[in-house]
Amino acid sequence: MLLPNQGATLADPATTSTDPQQSNGIDLQQQPKNKEESGLLSSITSNPYFSAGFGLIGVGAGLTLLRQGLTLGAGYLQRRLLVTLEIPSKDKSYLWFLQWMSQQAPKRGRLQHLAVETSYKQHDNGSISTTFGLVPGPGIHYFRWHGVWMKVQRQRDGKMMDLSTGSPWETITITTLSQDRKVFKELLSEAQEMALKKQEGKTVIYTSYGPEWRPFGMPRRRRLLDSVILDNGVKERIVEDVRAFIGNGKWYNERGIPYRRGYLLYGPPGSGKSSFIQSLAGELEYNICILNLSERGLTDDRLNHLLSNVPERSIMLLEDIDAAFTKRAQADNQGYQSMITFSGLLNALDGVASAEERIIFLTTNHVENLDAALIRPGRVDMKEFLGNATESQIRGMFSRFYGKDNKELEDAFFDRVKDRQISTASLQGHFVYFKDKPEEAVEQAELLWTQLM
Ligand SMILES: Nc1ncnc2c1ncn2[C@@H]1O[C@H](COP(=O)(O)OP(=O)(O)OP(=O)(O)O)[C@@H](O)[C@H]1O
Ligand SMILES: [Mg+2]
């Protein structure tokens, strides 16, 4: 028997094939010309060194061929029999799928690697607690769903970074048999349904995160329209207008009008502008995308991109629209100044004429600072002033806090504050402070103007 080290030497093609005659085994076997030669042949073939080397080369070549064949075959089979679905981390379905799988997988397969995902839960009293969910970590997972086996690979690209978010680029690849391809669709819609169910009755607030929109915090419980008390008729006017707008895309399209509507709410701080928009979103079951124009690093391009990629069913909200362009903001150049230009903002507001519905709310405390171009019809179609508390608002807020049966106290309270300029936010502060104590709220009414609430 050959010793291992001899075998290794013989297997080396460089040593076994130095003589072309030797390596050409067929020639040697087919043409034994004379005794001497056949003697040579037999001595060669019987030479254990040669035959071992030759054999090993043969086996090596055979194996290579086999391996190539197998690879080809596997590639072919893979193409014919398997189907893969790729979900990049940029896609909405990505998180949906991860969450879905973390619910499914423990029942149907085994998750080898887990990753933690922190989430929040809002309780009835408004407090928030944290829960930790386990989602499939990077790696390969196998599981069975609706009788179909799937391989799920979560891959993190170490080199590629998603520059906008600073997180590593990831993809999930799901592989299954070609004949089962229809499960992908079912699976994705189930994941989507599950994710949306979690948001039911909630308002999702999105903020810009680089060039994209990301949910900000957890979905909030919907704010009720009733909880915001505006002057007579204001709320109804806006709600009616928005309702008339939604679902009327055909009307706009037929007339060649871009399907969007802009609203401007202006007035002093604490008059309920932001709260009203939140309650409107709740009423319509819409989400809100908030963009701060004085955000650092915001450029015309990003602004444009953000405004043309608003998540569906959401209200676009640009707060303090004046702040980005007033002289004050230009002057204190502390690095917080965004880089958008006024024309950039106008262009972004106009956007590409798309068929997609767009509802934009602008708010400001200083309507007088706004350029006429910004609030011309087409950009802003409806303007509403939300001012300090009017009689109906004072009374409305009082009865909201202390009930409708406190008419006398309500009158007394109104009498005390009617000649003052008081914001609805201050009223709220006052009533919260004198919670369940309407008499004291009336007695101490002067706190509203002697103290900052
Ligand atoms: N009209 C109102 N009805 C009920 N609550 C109000 C009203 N106005 C203000 N509030 C309460 O006061 C607080 C501040 O209101 P909000 O943020 O909506 O004011 P705003 O008009 O957006 O102010 P700013 O101009 O400073 O952004 C909120 O907690 C809100 O509930
Ligand atoms: Mg506000």
Contact 425, 271 (CB under 8 A): yes
Given 367, 385, 403, the domain boundary residue is: 385
- For the chain, the average pLDDT equals 78
User: What is the tens place of the pLDDT at every residue in 342-380?
Assistant: 888 888 888 755 557 889 999 999 999 888 888 898 889
Which domain does 167 fall in, by range?
89-200
Angle between helices 182-199 and 92-108 (to 10 degrees): 100
> What pLDDT is attached to residue 10?
34
Name the range with the highest mean pLDDT among 90-94, 208-212, 250-254: 250-254
Task: Read off the pLDDT band of 182 (50, 70, 90).
Answer: confident
Look up the CATH number of the domain holding residue 274.
3.40.50.300
Ligand 1 atom nearest residue 275's Cα: 18
Higher pLDDT, 62 or 155: 155
Q: Are residues 293 and 183 in the same domain?
A: no
From 229, 242, 240, 268, select the one nearest 385 (Cα to Cα).
268
What backbone phi and psi angles, to 5 degrees, belong to 405? -95, 10
Domain tally, the chain: 4
Residues within 6 Å of ligand 1 by CB: 228-230, 269-275, 365, 424-425, 428
Residue 248 placed within a domain: yes
Q: Are residues 345 and 432 in the same domain?
A: no
> What pLDDT is attached to residue 21?
40
Task: Give the position of tokens 């109804």.
Answer: 236
Given 342, 366, 385, the domain boundary residue is: 385
Higher pLDDT, 68 or 159: 68
Distance from the alpha carbon of residue 275 to the mean position of ligand 1, in angstroms: 5
Q: Are residues 242 and 260 in the same domain?
A: yes
Q: What value does the mean pLDDT take over residues 64-87?
A: 77
User: What is the tens place of the pLDDT at every residue in 290-309?
Assistant: 998 877 778 888 888 888 88
Query: Does residue 92 carry a pLDDT above 60?
Result: yes
From 303, 284, 135, select the one nearest 204 (Cα to Cα).
284
- Provide the b/e sequence for 395-404 (b: ≥16 CB within 10 Å): bbbbbebbee
Q: Are residues 396 and 378 in the same domain?
A: no
Query: Does residue 123 carry a pLDDT above 60?
Result: no
Q: Are residues 226 and 365 in the same domain?
A: yes
Q: Are residues 296 and 422 in the same domain?
A: no
Residue 210 placed within a domain: no
Ligand 1 atom nearest residue 227's Cα: 4
Distance from the alpha carbon of residue 423 to the mean position of ligand 1, in angstroms: 8
